[in-house]
Structure 1
Amino acid sequence: MKITTAYMGEVEIKPTQIIKFEHGLPGFEDEKEFVQLPLSEGSAYQVLQSLKTTELAFIITSPYAIIAGYNFEVEDSVIQALDIKNAKEVAVFVLVSLKDTLENSTVNMKAPIVLNIENQKAKQIILEEDYAIRHQLAVDKKEV
Protein backbone atom coordinates (compact mmCIF):
# COMPACT_ATOMS: atom_id res chain seq x y z
CA MET A 1 0.00 0.00 0.00
CA LYS A 2 1.14 3.55 -0.70
CA ILE A 3 1.19 6.29 1.90
CA THR A 4 2.14 9.96 1.74
CA THR A 5 4.73 10.95 4.32
CA ALA A 6 5.82 14.24 5.88
CA TYR A 7 9.47 13.91 4.86
CA MET A 8 9.75 11.40 2.01
CA GLY A 9 6.75 11.96 -0.21
CA GLU A 10 4.92 8.84 -1.30
CA VAL A 11 6.32 5.49 -0.16
CA GLU A 12 5.24 1.88 -0.49
CA ILE A 13 4.72 -0.04 2.75
CA LYS A 14 3.51 -3.49 3.66
CA PRO A 15 0.60 -3.94 6.07
CA THR A 16 2.96 -5.95 8.30
CA GLN A 17 5.03 -2.77 8.85
CA ILE A 18 2.15 -0.94 10.55
CA ILE A 19 2.86 -0.25 14.23
CA LYS A 20 -0.26 -0.14 16.36
CA PHE A 21 -0.59 2.07 19.45
CA GLU A 22 -3.81 0.90 21.10
CA HIS A 23 -4.29 4.21 22.92
CA GLY A 24 -2.31 6.43 20.55
CA LEU A 25 0.63 8.51 21.74
CA PRO A 26 0.34 10.97 24.66
CA GLY A 27 -1.09 14.15 23.18
CA PHE A 28 -2.06 12.28 20.00
CA GLU A 29 -4.57 9.75 21.32
CA ASP A 30 -6.42 9.51 17.97
CA GLU A 31 -3.21 8.55 16.15
CA LYS A 32 -3.10 4.77 16.50
CA GLU A 33 -1.22 3.56 13.41
CA PHE A 34 2.30 4.49 12.40
CA VAL A 35 5.06 3.12 10.25
CA GLN A 36 8.78 3.24 10.97
CA LEU A 37 10.87 4.40 8.01
CA PRO A 38 14.64 4.91 7.77
CA LEU A 39 15.60 8.58 7.64
CA SER A 40 18.45 7.70 5.29
CA GLU A 41 20.52 4.64 4.49
CA GLY A 42 22.69 3.64 7.48
CA SER A 43 21.30 6.42 9.69
CA ALA A 44 20.80 5.93 13.42
CA TYR A 45 17.53 7.84 13.03
CA GLN A 46 14.13 6.76 11.75
CA VAL A 47 10.84 8.47 11.05
CA LEU A 48 7.76 7.36 12.95
CA GLN A 49 5.11 8.38 10.41
CA SER A 50 1.39 8.54 11.21
CA LEU A 51 -0.84 6.74 8.72
CA LYS A 52 -3.80 8.96 9.59
CA THR A 53 -2.14 12.39 9.44
CA THR A 54 0.49 12.96 6.75
CA GLU A 55 1.99 15.96 8.55
CA LEU A 56 2.52 14.01 11.79
CA ALA A 57 5.91 12.35 11.87
CA PHE A 58 8.44 12.01 14.67
CA ILE A 59 12.17 11.42 14.44
CA ILE A 60 13.15 8.48 16.66
CA THR A 61 16.37 6.71 17.56
CA SER A 62 17.70 4.02 19.86
CA PRO A 63 18.32 5.27 23.40
CA TYR A 64 21.23 2.83 23.69
CA ALA A 65 23.19 4.83 21.10
CA ILE A 66 22.95 7.83 23.42
CA ILE A 67 23.28 6.28 26.90
CA ALA A 68 25.07 2.93 26.83
CA GLY A 69 23.70 1.91 30.24
CA TYR A 70 20.10 2.95 29.56
CA ASN A 71 17.95 0.51 31.48
CA PHE A 72 14.44 0.34 32.93
CA GLU A 73 11.82 -2.10 34.12
CA VAL A 74 8.80 -2.70 31.90
CA GLU A 75 5.66 -3.00 34.01
CA ASP A 76 3.61 -6.18 33.81
CA SER A 77 0.63 -4.24 32.41
CA VAL A 78 2.78 -3.10 29.44
CA ILE A 79 4.12 -6.64 28.90
CA GLN A 80 0.53 -7.91 28.81
CA ALA A 81 -0.78 -5.07 26.62
CA LEU A 82 1.97 -5.64 24.04
CA ASP A 83 1.77 -9.43 24.40
CA ILE A 84 5.53 -9.68 25.03
CA LYS A 85 6.72 -13.25 25.54
CA ASN A 86 10.49 -12.62 25.83
CA ALA A 87 13.04 -9.80 25.73
CA LYS A 88 14.12 -10.65 22.16
CA GLU A 89 10.74 -9.35 20.92
CA VAL A 90 11.33 -5.85 22.33
CA ALA A 91 12.76 -2.79 20.61
CA VAL A 92 13.00 0.57 22.37
CA PHE A 93 13.04 4.02 20.78
CA VAL A 94 13.10 7.60 22.02
CA LEU A 95 11.66 10.71 20.40
CA VAL A 96 14.08 13.31 19.08
CA SER A 97 13.17 16.98 19.48
CA LEU A 98 14.91 18.73 16.60
CA LYS A 99 16.31 22.21 17.20
CA ASP A 100 18.25 24.54 14.89
CA THR A 101 21.27 22.20 14.99
CA LEU A 102 21.75 18.56 15.96
CA GLU A 103 24.03 19.65 18.80
CA ASN A 104 21.13 21.63 20.30
CA SER A 105 18.57 18.86 19.71
CA THR A 106 17.34 16.69 22.56
CA VAL A 107 15.85 13.24 23.11
CA ASN A 108 13.15 12.26 25.57
CA MET A 109 14.80 9.52 27.63
CA LYS A 110 11.99 9.68 30.24
CA ALA A 111 9.24 8.45 27.88
CA PRO A 112 10.52 5.72 25.54
CA ILE A 113 8.45 3.84 22.99
CA VAL A 114 8.39 0.09 23.64
CA LEU A 115 7.70 -1.98 20.53
CA ASN A 116 6.97 -5.69 20.24
CA ILE A 117 8.66 -6.40 16.90
CA GLU A 118 6.80 -9.70 16.52
CA ASN A 119 3.26 -8.29 16.51
CA GLN A 120 3.99 -4.56 15.90
CA LYS A 121 2.16 -3.46 19.07
CA ALA A 122 3.71 -0.42 20.74
CA LYS A 123 3.25 1.89 23.69
CA GLN A 124 4.97 5.03 24.88
CA ILE A 125 5.62 4.71 28.59
CA ILE A 126 6.75 7.12 31.28
CA LEU A 127 9.58 5.82 33.41
CA GLU A 128 9.98 6.00 37.15
CA GLU A 129 13.74 5.96 36.62
CA ASP A 130 15.57 9.28 36.73
CA TYR A 131 16.05 10.07 33.03
CA ALA A 132 15.73 13.50 31.42
CA ILE A 133 12.86 14.61 29.22
CA ARG A 134 15.33 16.82 27.31
CA HIS A 135 18.58 14.87 27.22
CA GLN A 136 21.17 16.64 25.06
CA LEU A 137 21.82 14.82 21.82
CA ALA A 138 25.55 14.39 21.29
CA VAL A 139 26.12 13.09 17.77
CA ASP A 140 28.58 13.45 14.95
CA LYS A 141 26.93 15.35 12.08
CA LYS A 142 28.14 12.70 9.63
CA GLU A 143 25.86 10.06 11.21
CA VAL A 144 22.63 11.65 10.03
Structure 2
Amino acid sequence: MNIDTKYHGTVAVKEEDIIHFPHGLPGFADEKRFVLLPLADTPFVILQSVETPALGFVLIEPFSYFPTYEFELDEATVEQLNIESERDVAVYVILTVADPFHETTANLQAPVVINVHKRLGKQVILTNPPYKTKHRLFPEKVAT
Protein backbone atom coordinates (compact mmCIF):
# COMPACT_ATOMS: atom_id res chain seq x y z
CA MET A 1 0.00 0.00 0.00
CA ASN A 2 1.04 3.60 -0.51
CA ILE A 3 1.10 6.09 2.35
CA ASP A 4 1.76 9.81 2.42
CA THR A 5 4.53 10.82 4.83
CA LYS A 6 5.91 13.90 6.53
CA TYR A 7 9.49 13.60 5.24
CA HIS A 8 9.46 11.11 2.35
CA GLY A 9 6.45 12.06 0.23
CA THR A 10 4.41 9.07 -0.89
CA VAL A 11 6.04 5.70 -0.19
CA ALA A 12 5.04 2.09 -0.66
CA VAL A 13 4.94 0.02 2.53
CA LYS A 14 4.20 -3.62 3.09
CA GLU A 15 1.59 -4.70 5.61
CA GLU A 16 4.24 -6.79 7.37
CA ASP A 17 6.36 -3.65 7.94
CA ILE A 18 3.65 -1.94 9.96
CA ILE A 19 4.33 -1.73 13.69
CA HIS A 20 1.23 -1.83 15.86
CA PHE A 21 1.09 0.36 18.95
CA PRO A 22 -1.99 -1.10 20.69
CA HIS A 23 -2.36 1.91 23.01
CA GLY A 24 -1.06 4.53 20.59
CA LEU A 25 1.61 6.96 21.73
CA PRO A 26 1.29 9.41 24.63
CA GLY A 27 -0.69 12.32 23.25
CA PHE A 28 -1.68 10.32 20.17
CA ALA A 29 -3.86 7.53 21.56
CA ASP A 30 -5.70 7.02 18.26
CA GLU A 31 -2.49 6.56 16.26
CA LYS A 32 -1.85 2.82 16.37
CA ARG A 33 -0.07 1.96 13.11
CA PHE A 34 3.41 3.21 12.22
CA VAL A 35 6.32 2.31 9.98
CA LEU A 36 10.02 2.99 10.42
CA LEU A 37 11.55 4.82 7.46
CA PRO A 38 15.28 5.49 7.26
CA LEU A 39 16.33 9.10 6.77
CA ALA A 40 18.76 8.92 3.85
CA ASP A 41 22.45 8.68 4.74
CA THR A 42 21.91 9.43 8.43
CA PRO A 43 21.60 7.35 11.60
CA PHE A 44 18.08 8.72 12.01
CA VAL A 45 14.79 6.98 11.26
CA ILE A 46 11.27 8.34 11.06
CA LEU A 47 8.47 6.72 13.03
CA GLN A 48 5.75 7.56 10.53
CA SER A 49 2.03 7.23 11.16
CA VAL A 50 0.31 5.13 8.50
CA GLU A 51 -2.91 7.10 8.94
CA THR A 52 -1.74 10.71 9.44
CA PRO A 53 0.82 12.02 6.92
CA ALA A 54 1.88 14.98 9.09
CA LEU A 55 2.73 12.72 12.06
CA GLY A 56 6.32 11.54 11.87
CA PHE A 57 8.84 11.43 14.71
CA VAL A 58 12.61 11.59 14.23
CA LEU A 59 14.25 8.74 16.17
CA ILE A 60 17.71 7.37 16.85
CA GLU A 61 19.04 4.19 18.35
CA PRO A 62 20.33 5.72 21.61
CA PHE A 63 23.22 3.45 22.55
CA SER A 64 25.67 4.93 20.04
CA TYR A 65 25.11 8.43 21.42
CA PHE A 66 24.55 7.51 25.06
CA PRO A 67 26.68 4.39 25.70
CA THR A 68 25.70 4.08 29.37
CA TYR A 69 21.96 4.33 28.65
CA GLU A 70 20.08 1.46 30.21
CA PHE A 71 16.72 0.68 31.73
CA GLU A 72 14.60 -2.30 32.64
CA LEU A 73 11.17 -2.95 31.20
CA ASP A 74 8.38 -3.64 33.65
CA GLU A 75 6.62 -6.99 33.43
CA ALA A 76 3.44 -5.43 32.01
CA THR A 77 5.38 -3.99 29.04
CA VAL A 78 7.18 -7.29 28.45
CA GLU A 79 3.79 -9.00 28.32
CA GLN A 80 2.14 -6.29 26.17
CA LEU A 81 4.91 -6.52 23.60
CA ASN A 82 5.14 -10.31 23.81
CA ILE A 83 8.91 -10.10 24.40
CA GLU A 84 10.61 -13.46 24.85
CA SER A 85 14.26 -12.38 24.71
CA GLU A 86 16.45 -9.31 24.30
CA ARG A 87 16.89 -10.26 20.63
CA ASP A 88 13.22 -9.37 20.09
CA VAL A 89 13.75 -5.75 21.11
CA ALA A 90 14.77 -2.60 19.27
CA VAL A 91 15.02 0.63 21.26
CA TYR A 92 14.76 4.14 19.88
CA VAL A 93 14.42 7.58 21.40
CA ILE A 94 12.52 10.54 20.00
CA LEU A 95 14.53 13.60 19.04
CA THR A 96 13.59 17.23 19.31
CA VAL A 97 15.39 18.58 16.28
CA ALA A 98 16.71 22.08 16.92
CA ASP A 99 18.00 24.91 14.83
CA PRO A 100 20.97 24.97 15.00
CA PHE A 101 21.06 21.20 14.64
CA HIS A 102 23.85 20.68 17.20
CA GLU A 103 21.35 21.68 19.92
CA THR A 104 19.09 18.71 19.10
CA THR A 105 17.98 16.75 22.17
CA ALA A 106 16.89 13.18 22.82
CA ASN A 107 14.10 12.05 25.13
CA LEU A 108 15.77 9.34 27.20
CA GLN A 109 12.92 9.26 29.72
CA ALA A 110 10.42 7.79 27.25
CA PRO A 111 12.07 5.31 24.86
CA VAL A 112 10.18 3.69 22.00
CA VAL A 113 10.45 -0.07 22.43
CA ILE A 114 9.61 -2.37 19.52
CA ASN A 115 9.29 -6.13 19.36
CA VAL A 116 10.82 -6.50 15.90
CA HIS A 117 9.49 -10.04 15.40
CA LYS A 118 5.89 -9.45 16.51
CA ARG A 119 5.77 -5.88 15.09
CA LEU A 120 4.46 -4.47 18.38
CA GLY A 121 5.56 -1.15 19.86
CA LYS A 122 5.14 1.06 22.87
CA GLN A 123 6.59 4.33 24.08
CA VAL A 124 7.61 3.47 27.62
CA ILE A 125 7.61 6.25 30.18
CA LEU A 126 10.29 5.39 32.72
CA THR A 127 9.40 6.22 36.30
CA ASN A 128 12.10 7.70 38.51
CA PRO A 129 14.91 7.27 36.00
CA PRO A 130 18.13 9.25 35.99
CA TYR A 131 17.03 10.47 32.55
CA LYS A 132 15.15 13.53 31.37
CA THR A 133 13.16 14.40 28.28
CA LYS A 134 15.97 16.57 26.89
CA HIS A 135 19.51 15.24 26.67
CA ARG A 136 21.81 16.94 24.18
CA LEU A 137 22.57 14.61 21.33
CA PHE A 138 25.91 16.25 20.62
CA PRO A 139 28.43 17.24 23.30
CA GLU A 140 29.28 20.88 23.67
CA LYS A 141 31.42 22.11 20.82
CA VAL A 142 35.11 22.17 21.57
CA ALA A 143 36.69 25.58 21.00
CA THR A 144 39.43 25.56 18.38
What is the TM-score when the length of structure 2 is the normalising length? Answer: 0.93
1:80 correspondence with 2:79: yes
Structure 1: how far apart are the matches of 2:33 and 2:91? 17
Find the counterpart in structure 2 of residue 102 from structure 1.
101
Find the counterpart in structure 2 of residue 34 from structure 1.
34
Indicate the RMSD between aligned Cα atoms, in angstroms: 1.0
Partner amino acid for 1:22?
P
Find the counterpart in structure 1 of residue 134 from structure 2.
134
Deviations 1:5-58 (A, max 9, x none): 1111111111111011101000010100000000013x2100110011100100
How far off its partner does 1:65 sit?
Answer: 1.6
Find the counterpart in structure 2 of residue 44 from structure 1.
43
State the identity as a percent: 39
8 Å CA contact retained: 1:102, 1:137 = no
Detail structure 1 runs of 4+ shifted over 4 Å in the superposition.
none
Structure 2: how far apart are the matches of 1:18 and 1:96? 21
Structure 1: how far apart are the matches of 2:2 and 2:115? 24
Structure 2: how far apart are the matches of 1:29 and 1:65? 30
Find the counterpart in structure 2 of residue 142 from structure 1.
none
Q: What is the aligned residue count?
A: 138
Partner amino acid for 1:105?
T
What is the TM-score when the length of structure 1 is the normalising length? Answer: 0.93
How far off its partner does 1:105 sit?
Answer: 1.0
